[in-house]
């Protein structure tokens, strides 16, 4: 949906701006856009704009994005930050890694008799 909007822009250029091209102030966005949209949607809870970031990250993990890729996508300075924040969404990761190790090392391990 945003392909046409970002076409020809540099990677560090703002996508959504004020009429003069300046950064949109969070308070102004909240008052004029976000809060009225939440009220119109008649939601039981009032999500923060930042909650969209968490939703996006959660969807990326559900789609199979690993934490290192997610760290870069979100701009976290440390992989620890990403893991501490979103690691709980990957409960099957350890089991999957164990299956991979077992498959890869299966022929190298001595067979136990018994």
Burial 14-39 (b: 16+ CB within 10 A, else e): eeeeeeeeeeeeeeeeeeeebeeeee
Three-state secondary-structure class, residue 19: coil
**Do 67 and 24 fall within a single domain?**
no
Rg (alpha carbons) of the chain, rounded to whole number: 22
**Do 55 and 35 fall within a single domain?**
no
Whether the pLDDT of residue 81 is over 80: the answer is yes
Any domain includes 111? no
Q: What is the pLDDT of residues 13-33, one digit of tens each?
A: 888 888 898 998 988 888 988
Whether the pLDDT of residue 112 is over 80: the answer is no
Any domain includes 22? yes
Any domain includes 114? no
**Do 30 and 60 fall within a single domain?**
no
Kindly report the backbone phi and psi dihedral angles of residue 23, in degrees, each rounded to the nearest multiple of 5, phi listed first: -65, 140
Cβ-count burial of 77 within 10 angstroms (0-12 exposed, 13-18 middle, 19+ buried)?
exposed
Identify the domain containing residue 97 by its residue range: 48-105
**Do 56 and 27 fall within a single domain?**
no
């Amino acid at each position: 949906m945003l392909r046409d909007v970002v076409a020809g822009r540099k990677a560090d250029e703002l996508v959504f701006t004020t009429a003069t091209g300046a950064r949109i102030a969070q308070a102004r966005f909240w008052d004029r856009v976000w809060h009225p949209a939440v009220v119109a949607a008649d939601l039981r809870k009032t999500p923060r704009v930042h909650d969209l970031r968490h939703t996006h990250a959660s969807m990326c993990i559900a789609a199979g994005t690993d934490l290192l890729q997610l760290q870069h996508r979100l701009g976290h300075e440390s992989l620890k930050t990403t893991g501490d924040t979103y690691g709980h969404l990957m409960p099957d990761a350890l089991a999957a890694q164990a299956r991979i190790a077992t498959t890869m090392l299966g022929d190298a391990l001595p067979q136990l008799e018994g």
